[in-house]
Amino acid sequence: MDKIIAHIDQNKKRYQDELFALLRIPSVSADPKHKDDIRKAAEWTRAKLAAMGCSARLQETPGHPIVYGEWLKAPGKPTVLFYGHYDVQPPDPLNLWTTSPFEPTVRDGNVFARGSADDKGQFLANVLGVEAFFQSDGQPPVNVKFLIEGEEEVTSHNLEKFVTDNTELLKCDEIIVSDTAQFGPGYPAICYGLRGICYMEVFLRGPKMDLHSGEYGGAVANPANVLGRLIGRLHDPATGKVAIPGFYDDVVELSAAEKAEFGKLPFDEAQYRSRLDVAETPGEKGYSILERVSTRPTCDVNGITTGYHGVGGKTVIPAEASAKISMRLVPNMDPKKIRAAFESYIRSLCPPAVQVRFENHGMARPVVVPTDSPALAKARAALEKGFGAKSVLIRSGGSIPVVETFKDKLGVAALLVGYGLPDDNLHSPNEKFSLDDFHRAIKTAAYLVAELGK
């Protein structure tokens, strides 16, 4: 491995330049105006895989293309599938970015750009770790496949069908997913659990048009007012629990052993509040912050649209109000069941004076993977070599829809090997990724390939 690691060290500047080139592409999957940018990012990724020696192509879908690449010239060796996504979250609100979200900028050893940690920097680190074998050792000690999608940030609308229809193409022994994070600086981590998601938007319609609030106020229902009351009833203020009937019916509590492991993790609540600039951290009573953000179900308003948004005032009763609401789910919650419960509860609260309709923005099941597999032990060994510290086991509050799909369709539990940090501002302004961690991640990917090839 000395030759491989030396090669990685010698190419540090090139790796950074390639990352920055990918980060400059505004591949926002949620915004149709970026359709051409999405394809540009897909083409960039395909070309990268092809240049390093893989057979690579774009697989068209009803949405954004999937990039698939493979190199299968190590007979008798395991096949490792690497998953990632080249699409990114919208950068809004732009005024809160210190520098342009799609012009990578280095500050304090971090690259600031949308997609830097989620997930371009992470999936590219795995690609470069494999590339190092081609360029310095002739070939990797395992067969490799790459599946890089462009719809993860919109809940992978078309990926499940692709996996279902191509189980033979994607057949593998191990799956590596790098779209999570370390526990903190000096604490590299393997994630063994992800929350699922049920993402809904509720629309309330009142009068057929916006009305003068002076002439009609007090005579018609204001959809914005009604929406505010509905949102206020999503939680029990006394317990912090979600108030939707049946929401907790299938929730699996942490085992005593898991709870004890969570208690061992070094967590500074005061530092956590300080970093977020909040005075307190309310939530479901009876659970620590770490437990609430990774092992408990939640319900959160992600955005509200209603009324006048222009400069100055405009006294209207809006005709419509809407809210995007995401519910994070834990084992064994069923997103379809939660969707039905959510819609039923909202309908029961709506007065006859407004009409209600719903739109589903995506669902994914929660997942927990085994922690006693030989592959996980190898991943922990690779992390220790790449990052120079022993790894810990954690669960993540985020969702990666394809992990459960891989388990169901391919029969393989993915290894969730994350390289980012908890304060990388994923989905927020000023997203960042440590360049030192990017370099460590490339080494870790190379060590992992070597471990899996033994």
What is the bridge-based pairing of β-strands 110-112 and 105-107? antiparallel
Look up the CATH number of the domain holding residue 306: 3.30.70.360
CB-based burial of residue 397 (10 Å sphere; 0-12 exposed, 13-18 middle, 19+ buried)?
Answer: middle
Q: Which two tokens stand for residue 154?
A: 């919109």
**Residue 247 falls within a domain, yes or no?**
yes
329 vs 197: CA distance, rounded Å? 5
Domain boundary among 321, 345, 364: 364
Look up the CATH number of the domain holding residue 139: 3.40.630.10
Q: What is the pLDDT of residues 404-413, one digit of tens each?
A: 999 999 999 9
**What is the chain's pLDDT, residue by residue, as a tens digit (454 residues)?**
999 999 999 999 999 999 999 999 999 999 999 999 999 999 999 999 999 999 999 999 999 999 999 999 999 999 999 999 999 999 999 999 999 999 999 999 999 999 999 999 999 999 999 999 999 988 999 999 999 999 999 988 899 999 999 999 999 999 999 999 999 999 999 999 999 999 999 999 999 999 999 999 999 999 999 999 999 999 999 999 999 999 999 999 988 988 898 888 999 999 999 999 999 999 999 999 999 999 999 999 999 999 999 999 999 999 999 999 999 999 999 999 999 999 999 999 999 999 999 999 989 899 998 899 999 999 999 999 999 999 999 999 988 889 999 999 999 999 999 999 999 999 999 999 999 999 999 999 999 999 999 9
Residue keyed to tokens 């669960």: 395
pLDDT for position 164:
97
**Residue 285 falls within a domain, yes or no?**
no
User: From residue 57, how far is each of 122, 145, 295 by CA, in Å?
Assistant: 21, 12, 38
One domain, residues 36 and 168: yes
One domain, residues 226 and 325: yes
Q: What is the largest CA-CA distance in the chain?
A: 79
Dihedral, CA of residue 91, residue 97, residue 100 and residue 105, to nearest 10: -120
pLDDT for position 28:
98
CB of 319 closer than 8 Å to CB of 205: yes
One domain, residues 324 and 400: no
One domain, residues 187 and 245: no
Domain boundary among 314, 338, 364: 364
Beta-strand runs (E) in 330-438? 355-364, 367-368, 392-396, 415-418, 432-434
One domain, residues 107 and 229: no
pLDDT for position 262:
87
Range of the domain at 392: 2-194+366-452
159 vs 165: CA distance, rounded Å? 10
One domain, residues 169 and 314: no
pLDDT for position 370:
87
Q: What is the pLDDT of residues 45-88, one digit of tens each?
A: 999 999 999 999 999 999 999 999 999 999 999 999 999 999 99
Q: Work out the angle at residue 35's Cα, subtended by the Cα atoms of residues 32 and 37, and round it to the nearest 5 degrees.
A: 130
* Helix, strand, coil % over all residues of the chain, rounded to 5: 35, 25, 40
The residue type of 289 is: I
One domain, residues 224 and 239: yes
Domain boundary among 311, 340, 364: 364
Question: 449: number of CA atoms within 13 Å, CB side?
Answer: 29
104 vs 88: CA distance, rounded Å? 14
User: From residue 9, how far is each of 106, 129, 139, 283, 418 by CA, in Å?
Assistant: 19, 11, 18, 45, 21
290 vs 36: CA distance, rounded Å? 39
User: From residue 107, how far is each of 104, 143, 431, 435 by CA, in Å?
Assistant: 10, 38, 12, 10
One domain, residues 7 and 117: yes
44 vs 120: CA distance, rounded Å? 12
The residue type of 79 is: T
Q: Which of 84, 80, 68, 83 is nearest to 173 (CA)?
A: 80
Q: What proportion of the chain, given as a percentage, has pLDDT over 90?
A: 94
With both helix axes pointing from N to C terminus, report the angle between 121-136 and 12-23 in degrees, rounded to the nearest 10: 140
Q: Which of 372, 395, 393, 391 is nearest to 381 (CA)?
A: 391
Beta-strand runs (E) in 247-391? 298-306, 316-317, 320-329, 355-364, 367-368
One domain, residues 236 and 374: no
One domain, residues 340 and 372: no
The rounded radius of gyration (Å) of the Cα atoms in the chain is: 23
One domain, residues 350 and 228: yes
Is the pTM higher than 0.75? The answer reads yes
pLDDT for position 197:
94
Q: Which of 407, 313, 395, 393 is nearest to 364 (CA)?
A: 407
pLDDT for position 96:
97
Question: 236: number of CA atoms within 13 Å, CB side?
Answer: 11
What is the bridge-based pairing of β-strands 66-71 and 174-177? unpaired
One domain, residues 167 and 98: yes
